[in-house]
Structure 1
């Protein structure tokens, strides 16, 4: 099986049509059809269901498509890495949670870019599941994660920051004028929680009730969505107050007695081959953490 055959198959799936895929690949439709048929014969299983205008994937085809993309992505990453060994260039891929402290990592990259102007940064926000999937598939070099992780699978660099969660409350709530919220204030409230399984478990333990008994009206991935959910009347949100500006709204952050706080960590796979850009970035971050330059004022 050749890499070009994998590229043919991935293109067919993306285009949803062999004729369009052939045009994109600058080859004839019969030649491409033969390549896909030969691939199916080599694998001993059908990969696509052929319709009059569109193709759909079989179960085996969907599995193969995911793996083909991973293989091609790894090949491209390896090629870019090897090209960058003679000179520091290329892209640093970061992913993970939105945090006020991400700015410190971005500043570090900016400093690195002053020395190596050919490098650039790609940051991918997402759920914790999305982030681990990207890290495992090699789509990102590092992940910024809240809370503990599997140290057998990942290298970790604890960062000297803790994300603290406060309650985002609308002015229509009877809690709005309180200076501090206690645990019992949450027991009768509809809750809007981050899309993070660990935080939901922490909240359940924090309120001393089973997870399934939490009155969760909705979950969110990005802080702005949390504010929109609160504005819509879906409850009060547990949110990182340093990210959102509520000064021009009818919402207010209220501190929580014994608040939920989680440490941030920088992760990378133990079995990953790191690019020159990633190695340089890790060196600088490690030095600054060791020197305590990252401790917030």
Structure 2
């Protein structure tokens, strides 16, 4: 597969119409159709269902789209970093879950962008396993992971000072709202909303002792929209402290767990890959930020 053909394929995915994609690519429709047909023959699969007005992806087409986007992103990143290998330029890719540690990282990113305007920053949300996979494949330069850390992986790591303390957010009218802390039995009585990261967390499973007794009604990657659901009923939103900023006027409150669950934050990167200049600068500034606080 050629990168050029993958770019053609992604253009058709975006436009959902071969004529429109051909116009955007500045090539003829017959030429584009032929390139796509050759790609299908090379792969031995059908990538599109071809309709009169619009084409749709097959299951194999969706699979190729996901991986083609990663391949093109990696190619673009490699080209940019090689082109600017002797100056602070290029692109920096960071993956992170929802954590207060992202504030320190964004402060560093802001510093870099202000002083090196040619640098482009890309930030992706995801859980730890997703971030680790993208780092291993070269899609991300760095990732911020929370909770237990697998030291068998081929990652370098830097522990960040910020820790994540678990608790729940409930409405101030909730039966649990006046309690000073929450024990496992409390969460068994009410519908629970948790992050996908927490659902896979050994720390939380060990704390609640019997996860099967929990009534988990929803999961999330980003918690902001879930607060509106919590305001409507007896839901408990399990979340890190200070991840949602609750104003004094808010009808929501945060209650810590007892015993406490603390997740540590780590910055990780691939130990087998040489960092670009901008990635080395980012790591240097982050280390200095941590050192200056001690």
TM-score of Structure 1 vs Structure 2, range by shorter chain: 0.7 to 0.9
Asked if structure 1 preserves the Cα contact closer than 8 Å seen for 2:169 and 2:255, the reply is yes
Deviates more, 1:31-40 or 1:53-62: 53-62
2:249 is equivalent to residue 248 of structure 1: yes
User: Are 1:190 and 1:217, in contact at CA under 8 Å, matched by a contact in 2?
Assistant: yes
Within 5 Å, give how 1:14-29 maps onto structure 2.
14-29=14-29
CA RMSD of aligned residues (A): 2.6
Q: Answer yes or no: is the 8 Å Cα contact 1:156–1:265 preserved in 2.
A: yes
| CA gap 1:2/1:255 in 2 versus in 1, 3 angstroms | closer
2:56 pairs with 1:49: no
Cα deviation, 1:130-165, whole Å, max 9, x if unaligned, reads 544544554432111111233324332222221001
Q: Match for residue 202 of structure 1? A: 203
Matched, 1:277 2:278: yes
Q: Which residue of 2 aligns with 1:169?
A: 170
Structure 2 residue aligned with 1:105: 105
Do the aligned partners of residues 276 and 264 (structure 1) sit closer, same or farther apart at CA in structure 2, a change above 3 Å counting? same
Q: 2: distance between equivalents of 1:187 and 1:128? A: 26
Indicate the residue corresponding to 2:260 in structure 1. Answer: 259
Give yes or no for the alignment of 1:36 onto 2:36: yes
Corresponding residue for residue 7 of structure 2:
7
CA contact (8 A) 2:48 2:55 kept: yes
**Preserved CA contact (<8 Å) 2:165 2:263:** yes
Separation in 1, partners of 2:240, 2:45? 49
Deviation at 1:283, TM superposition (A): 2.4
Distance 1:81 1:234, change over 3 A: farther
Which residue number in structure 2 is paired with residue 65 of structure 1? Answer: 65
Structure 2: distance between partners of 1:218 and 1:248: 26
**C-alpha distance in structure 2 between counterparts of 1:225 and 1:126, whole Å:** 17
Q: What is the CA–CA distance in structure 2 between the aligned matches of 1:70 and 1:277, rounded to whole Å?
A: 21
Unpaired runs of 5+ residues, structure 1, are: none
Asked if the contact 1:84–1:275 (Cα under 8 Å) also holds between the matched residues in 2, the reply is no
1-side partners of 2:120 and 2:134: how far apart? 18
Q: 1:286 to 1:16 in 2, by over 3 A?
A: same
Cα distance in 2 for partners of 1:124, 1:205 equals: 29
Residue aligning to 2:89: 89
Partner of 1:212: 212
Residue 32 of structure 1: how far off its partner (Å): 1.3
Q: For 1:166, what is the secondary structure of its paired residue?
A: strand
When residues 24 and 153 of structure 1 are mapped into structure 2, their CA distance, relative to the original with a 3 A threshold, is same
What secondary structure is seen at the aligned counterpart in 1 of 2:225? helix
Provide the residue aligned with 2:159 in structure 1.
Answer: 158
Kindly indicate whether the alpha-carbon contact (under 8 Å) linking 2:165 and 2:240 is maintained by their aligned counterparts in 1.
yes
**Number of equivalences:** 292
Distance 1:214 1:265 in 2: 29
Q: What is the Cα deviation at residue 233 of structure 1?
A: 1.1
Q: CA deviation at 1:231?
A: 0.7
1:264 Cα deviation from its structure 2 partner: 0.4
**CA distance change for structure 1 residues 72 and 273 in 2, over 3 Å: closer, same or farther?**
farther
**Counterpart of 1:79?**
79
Unaligned ranges ≥5, structure 2:
none
SS at match of 1:217: strand
